[in-house]
């Protein structure tokens, strides 16, 4: 299967696996959802959306920051900003959890810079969890960071790609 484009049958089966994974994910059945996202990627290896869910599972359930970073970096390459933003949000947390403070700060900046003023994304950017904020503030931000405020401490909102 490597090196070839998926056929229409594989794409349809990948979509079904992805949909089943999402349904389980939103029921907080992360262990049960994970194999469906893996199957979607096996059938359609270049497909980006399953990586976002796998990244969140590795971040929030397994606490495996390196695997989370792997999947969320792929998800953050999505050209659709609506799908890219949640990946950047969680990628910030994964980098912070892994102790990659500079990368966490840069990822948060990209997330925040993509937020239109007055949107939920801007509000969510300002509501990064206290743990991530503390990690980011422990370092001196890049000089261009003065253009936008740091987020106030508060719990992270539930953000899910659709």
Longest dimension (CA), the chain: 51
pLDDT of residue 150: 47
| Highest-pLDDT range among 54-68, 88-102, 146-160 | 54-68
pLDDT of residue 127: 73
pLDDT of residue 122: 76
Q: Which of 139, 68, 53, 127 is nearest to 98 (CA)?
A: 68
């Amino acid at each position: 299967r490597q090196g070839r484009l998926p056929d229409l049958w594989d794409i349809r089966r990948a979509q079904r696996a992805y949909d089943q994974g999402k349904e389980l994910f939103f029921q907080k059945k992360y262990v049960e959802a994970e194999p469906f996202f893996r199957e979607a990627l096996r059938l359609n290896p270049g497909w980006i959306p399953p990586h976002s869910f796998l990244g969140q599972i590795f971040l929030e359930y397994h606490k495996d920051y390196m695997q989370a970073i792997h999947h969320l970096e792929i998800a953050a390459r999505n050209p659709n900003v609506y799908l890219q933003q949640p990946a950047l949000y969680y990628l910030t947390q994964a980098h912070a959890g892994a102790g990659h403070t500079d990368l966490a700060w840069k990822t948060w900046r990209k997330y925040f810079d993509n937020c239109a003023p007055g949107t939920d994304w801007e509000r969510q950017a300002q509501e990064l969890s206290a743990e991530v904020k503390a990690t980011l503030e422990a370092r001196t931000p890049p000089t261009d960071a003065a253009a936008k405020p740091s987020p106030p401490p508060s719990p992270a909102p539930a953000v899910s790609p659709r």
